């Protein structure tokens, strides 16, 4: 389930990174566009002022008589940001003025400093004048006057433009909570007010540009308040002014944090859904695997039981005689005891001896039945320690009658104090029962059945050997002996699953099943020896 989250987390991280980059690029692009738009707005503002100067100059040229009325009309137009129009001679004599304030020499001196020419108009730098006790930033525009084709001898038209109109123009483009646009000169002196209290011709910023990272059109800088901002700048040519557009980095980062929260919420919800879905899918798969395993185990158990019962049927074919003998003896001695009790006086010691014999015969029969039940029981259990000597002894108690009937001599060589093995008792019973049954079937005319156990300390293995003196197994059959449905018996006499199941069960118990066999053609003493190897329980 955790692995399934890796591509999802990778996708979410990439999406967040791209989203963050898009926010930064969008903010930078927006600030740059704002600066460009305001540059065009300022140029348009200046073009309107120049056109007004040319218009007034044309009026003077056409008719000096009505000049005063026309120029007053232009000056008083509320949509035009003019403080005063005045005409002066080259010698400094005032010829005409629309304003009430006196035109002093300071205004003329400031208007003559650092002038630039544009569209035939001289422009001063921005300076401050006092009007109605208020300091107003102004720009002085100047042009020589002419009458007809002759320039009037030293007459100059001057215009004082209220430059605070630029501040109003720029304020209309303030963005969100901290974004602002303002105008400065090349030295960083403010030529407009700002959103956060910068003063015209007083506040100054550092014009040292911090290069942007990557290809961003804007860059990070420290503004006049000492705060980190994302800033864009555009020159207003040919006036030597610069439009600045900036926004606090905190506000931009807040948008990124909002995106981060949304991305985290998305990742949390999606991850939760994936985990829930993965849980249900894995649970369903686990249940399916568990059910399949249980079905296979049940089928395996049924196959083992079938083979075990088939083998038990063969091994217990002489069990009726084995049970009949102690029962008949018990009945006989009981009748004798009853007859002796009718005699007077009866022999108490003799009767007691007869009854003890009855008890012994009943115990013997009970032991045979108990061992039969032990090997016939349908049980499924976990691995546990089993003593192989005890298991072989119990098996032979119910098998010997059949061996006697078949003229088979049983030899048992059991190693004393042999360690227990770790196995499922029912499975181990099935394997050994099948091996003993096969050994008996291999000796239809009688022979020797040898059972032995031994312990190999180095390998920590217990070896159980089941050997017969039968006809043996040919080499051609030896290679297929553990294959399913392979049998050398006549059709209908075997399923061909006995040795296959025994071999598979031995492997599942962590052991092995091996066979060595020789026929009459291969050796003087034919026979087959099966060796079951099992790990000890320690």
Structural domains of the chain sorted by starting position, each given as residue range(s) with its CATH number in brackets: 1-294 (3.30.450.20), 299-535 (3.30.565.10)
Bridge-based pairing state of the strands 82-89 and 150-162? antiparallel
In this structure, are residues 90 and 112 in contact, taking their beta carbons and an 8 Å threshold? no
pLDDT of 455 reads 93
Element at 465 (helix H, strand E): strand 461-468
**According to the 3-state scheme, what is the secondary structure of 42-99?**
HHHHHHHHHHHHHHHHHHHHHCCCCHHHHHHHHHHCCCCCEEEEEEEECCCCEEEECC
Residue 117 CA to residue 143 CA, distance in Å, equals 10
- Give the contacts of 317 (CB within 8 A, at least 6 positions apart): 402, 405
pLDDT of 471 reads 85
In this structure, are residues 480 and 441 in contact, taking their beta carbons and an 8 Å threshold? no
Mean pLDDT of the chain: 78
Greatest pairwise CA separation for the chain in angstroms: 184
The model's pLDDT over 63-104, given as tens digits with 9 standing for 90+, comes to 666 677 777 777 777 677 888 888 888 777 888 888 766 677
Nearest to 534 by CA among 477, 463, 448: 463
Please state which of the ranges 32-41, 226-235, 250-259, 326-335 shows the lowest mean pLDDT.
Answer: 326-335
In this structure, are residues 418 and 388 in contact, taking their beta carbons and an 8 Å threshold? yes
Instruction: pLDDT band for 275, please (50, 70, 90 cuts).
Output: confident
The model's pLDDT over 435-490, given as tens digits with 9 standing for 90+, comes to 888 888 888 889 999 999 999 999 899 999 999 988 888 887 887 787 776 676 66
What does the buried/exposed string (b/e) look like for 420-433 if buried means 16 or more CB atoms within 10 Å of the residue's CB?
A: bbbbbbbbbbbbbb
Nearest to 364 by CA among 405, 313, 323, 413: 323
Nearest to 531 by CA among 481, 432, 456, 465: 465
Task: Give the chain's count of helices (H) and strands (E).
Answer: 11, 18
pLDDT of 16 reads 47
Nearest to 131 by CA among 160, 166, 167: 160
Instruction: pLDDT band for 148, please (50, 70, 90 cuts).
Output: very low
Whether residue 142 has pLDDT greater than 80: yes
Half-sphere exposure of 499 (CA within 13 A, CB side): 21
Better-predicted residue by pLDDT, 122 or 424: 122
User: Any alpha helices (H) in 443-523, and if so which ranges?
Assistant: 475-478, 498-508
Region 375-403: mean pLDDT is 77
Residue 69 CA to residue 338 CA, distance in Å, equals 165
In this structure, are residues 218 and 23 in contact, taking their beta carbons and an 8 Å threshold? no
Residue 369 CA to residue 367 CA, distance in Å, equals 5
Tokens of 69: 């009325």
> Rg of the Cα trace of the chain?
58
Whether residue 3 has pLDDT greater than 50: yes
Lookup result for tokens 């329980």: 537
By residue count, the chain amounts to 538
């Amino acid at each position: 389930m955790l692995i399934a989250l890796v591509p999802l987390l990778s996708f979410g991280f990439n999406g967040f990174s791209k989203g963050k980059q898009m926010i930064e690029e969008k903010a930078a692009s927006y600030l740059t566009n704002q600066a460009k738009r305001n540059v065009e707005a300022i140029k348009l503002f200046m073009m309107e002022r120049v056109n007004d100067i040319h218009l007034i100059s044309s009026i003077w040229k056409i008719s000096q008589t009505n000049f005063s009325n026309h120029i007053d009309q232009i000056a008083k137009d509320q949509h035009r940001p003019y403080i005063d129009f005045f005409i002066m001679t080259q010698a400094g004599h005032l010829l005409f003025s629309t304003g009430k304030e006196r035109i002093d020499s300071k205004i003329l001196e400031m208007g003559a400093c650092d002038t630039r020419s544009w569209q035939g108009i001289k422009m001063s730098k921005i300076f401050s004048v006092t009007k109605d006790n208020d300091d107003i930033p102004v720009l002085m525009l100047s042009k020589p006057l002419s009458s007809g084709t002759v320039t009037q001898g030293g007459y100059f038209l001057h215009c004082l433009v209220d430059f605070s109109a630029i501040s109003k123009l720029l304020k209309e483009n303030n963005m969100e909570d901290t974004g602002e646009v303002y105008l400065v000169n090349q030295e960083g002196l403010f030529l407009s007010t700002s959103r956060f209290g910068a003063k015209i011709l007083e506040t100054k910023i550092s014009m040292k540009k911090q290069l942007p990272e990557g290809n961003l059109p804007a860059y990070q800088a420290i503004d006049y308040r000492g705060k980190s901002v994302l800033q864009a700048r555009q020159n207003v040519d040919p006036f030597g002014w610069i439009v600045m557009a900036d926004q606090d980095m905190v506000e931009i980062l807040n948008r990124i944090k909002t995106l981060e929260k949304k991305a985290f919420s998305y990742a949390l919800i999606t991850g939760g859904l994936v985990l829930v879905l993965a849980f249900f899918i894995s649970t369903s798969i686990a249940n399916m695997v568990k059910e399949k395993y249980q079905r296979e185990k049940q089928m395996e158990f049924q196959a083992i039981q079938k083979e075990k019962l088939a083998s038990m049927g063969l091994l217990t074919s002489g069990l009726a005689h084995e049970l009949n003998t102690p029962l008949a003896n018990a009945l006989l001695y009981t009748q004798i005891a009853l007859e002796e009790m009718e005699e007077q006086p009866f022999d108490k010691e003799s009767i007691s001896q007869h009854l003890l014999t009855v008890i012994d015969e009943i115990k013997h029969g009970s032991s045979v039945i108990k061992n039969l039940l032990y090997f016939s029981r349908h049980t499924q259990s976990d691995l546990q320690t089993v003593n192989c000597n005890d298991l072989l002894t119990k098996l032979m108690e119910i098998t010997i009658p059949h061996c006697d009937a078949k003229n088979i001599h049983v030899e048992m060589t059991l190693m004393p104090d042999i360690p227990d093995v770790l196995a499922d008792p029912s499975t181990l019973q099935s394997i050994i029962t099948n091996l003993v049954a096969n050994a008996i079937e291999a000796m239809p005319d009688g022979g020797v059945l040898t059972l032995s156990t031994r312990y190999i300390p180095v390998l920590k293995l217990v070896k159980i050997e089941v050997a017969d003196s039968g006809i043996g197994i040919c080499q051609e059959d030896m290679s297929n002996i553990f294959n399913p449905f392979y049998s050398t018996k006549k059709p209908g006499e075997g399923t061909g699953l006995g040795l296959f199941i025994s071999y598979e069960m031995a492997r599942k118990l962590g052991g092995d099943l091996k066979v060595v066999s020789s026929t009459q053609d291969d050796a003087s003493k034919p026979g087959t020896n099966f060796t079951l190897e099992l790990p000890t329980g320690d």
